[in-house]
Amino acid sequence: MHWACLNFTDLIISLFRGTLDCEKPDSKESWSWAVLQGTIWKAHGESVAAATPYLPGSFDRPPRNPAEKLTSGYKAWEFLLYIVGLAPALLHGILPDAEWRHLCKGICVIRCFNQQKIPMDQLIKCHKLAIEYVTEFETLYFQGMPERIHFVRQSVHQMTHLGPEAIRIGPAALYSQWTIERTIGNLGQEIKSHSQPYANLAERALRRAQVNALKAMIPDLDPEEAKTVRCSIDLGHGYTLLHARDEYRHRLDGDAARTIRSFLVSQN
């Protein structure tokens, strides 16, 4: 979570806004990628906020206008949706072409390793993109200048470890801080002993680990159940088309009420 949502995004935003330290004889005038400034930065922030109505409700908190709220408690999830979700489209035509293509490679890697299941062909492709991203980062931004050594943060190099680590212990999405925080919360909700809460928590965690181990060894113990909603259409590939619903309960009159009443009577 920290790498993709905070470390990586902080570096990207700092580069494009030109807010990184500039050591002499380097000059910010040579930073062709530092385009998010002045009216362009303001308009870009408005575009991010304007995308909110088009994001699914399941995406939780939409990113606020970064030009106004970036230093006002901007959440990790907002950074992720902003940079990984919206930035490739919103920065097209604003960033120089080489920097934009380079950004898209990095975001493709993050999207790939945020999956819970990664096909081997995707894993190989994204690991190759990660290596290209790191190599091109030094070419585009660092350019072999000692004055820019602080550009090359650990968040750049770490990208090359995602592929090998996915083969060793699984996709990063399964062992990231998101998952750990959720597990801590779930186990905390299961505590039933107020006199010995930590012993109870340890026992709950042990039982959870044992059950998960059994399910991993014998998948038939945990069959996947297709979750369908009434009046929905299964579109396949994990997508379901839901019917329209009113957000709030309200009284119906006239033709609408008679039509619904007639339908309900016919069902009996």
Residue 231 forms part of a structural domain: no
Q: Are residues 51 and 99 in the same domain?
A: yes
Q: Are residues 163 and 215 in the same domain?
A: no
Q: In this model, does residue 202 exceed pLDDT 80?
A: yes
Model confidence over 218-230: pLDDT tens digits? 988 888 776 677 7
pLDDT of residue 15: 95
Which domain does 212 fall in, by range? 193-223
Predicted confidence band of residue 1 (pLDDT cuts 50, 70, 90): low
Q: Are residues 168 and 80 in the same domain?
A: yes
Bridge partners for 239 per DSSP: 236
- Asked which of 157-171, 196-210, 223-237, 241-255 is least confident by mean pLDDT, the reply is 223-237
Q: Are residues 70 and 198 in the same domain?
A: no
Residue 213 forms part of a structural domain: yes
Q: Are residues 215 and 150 in the same domain?
A: no
- Asked which of 27-41, 162-176, 196-210 is least confident by mean pLDDT, the reply is 162-176
Task: Please count the CA atoms within 13 angstroms of the CA of 238 that sit on its side-chain side.
Answer: 1
Residue 76 forms part of a structural domain: yes
Predicted confidence band of residue 66 (pLDDT cuts 50, 70, 90): very high
Residue 255 forms part of a structural domain: no
Average pLDDT, integer, range 195-209: 91
Model confidence over 102-157: pLDDT tens digits? 999 999 999 999 888 899 999 999 999 999 999 999 999 999 999 999 999 988 99
Average pLDDT, integer, range 159-186: 84
Q: Which of 203, 223, 243 is the last residue of a domain?
A: 223
Domains in the chain: how many in total?
2
Mean confidence (pLDDT) of the chain:
90
Q: In this model, does residue 50 exceed pLDDT 90?
A: yes
Q: Are residues 166 and 201 in the same domain?
A: no
* CA gap 169, 66 in Å, rounded: 35
Q: Are residues 105 and 40 in the same domain?
A: yes
Task: Please count the CA atoms within 13 angstroms of the CA of 181 that sit on its side-chain side.
Answer: 6
Q: Are residues 78 and 145 in the same domain?
A: yes
Q: Are residues 154 and 201 in the same domain?
A: no
Residue 179 forms part of a structural domain: no
Residue 26 forms part of a structural domain: yes
Report CA-CA distances (Å) from 224 to 215, 230, 235, 246.
12, 19, 17, 31
Average pLDDT, integer, range 87-102: 96
Q: Are residues 201 and 150 in the same domain?
A: no
Residue 79 forms part of a structural domain: yes
* CA gap 132, 106 in Å, rounded: 9
Q: Are residues 152 and 212 in the same domain?
A: no
Q: Are residues 148 and 203 in the same domain?
A: no
In whole angstroms, how large is the CA radius of gyration of the chain? 24
Residue 165 forms part of a structural domain: yes
* CA gap 11, 152 in Å, rounded: 9
Name the pTM for this structure: 0.73
Contacts 24+ apart (CB under 8 A), 181-187: none
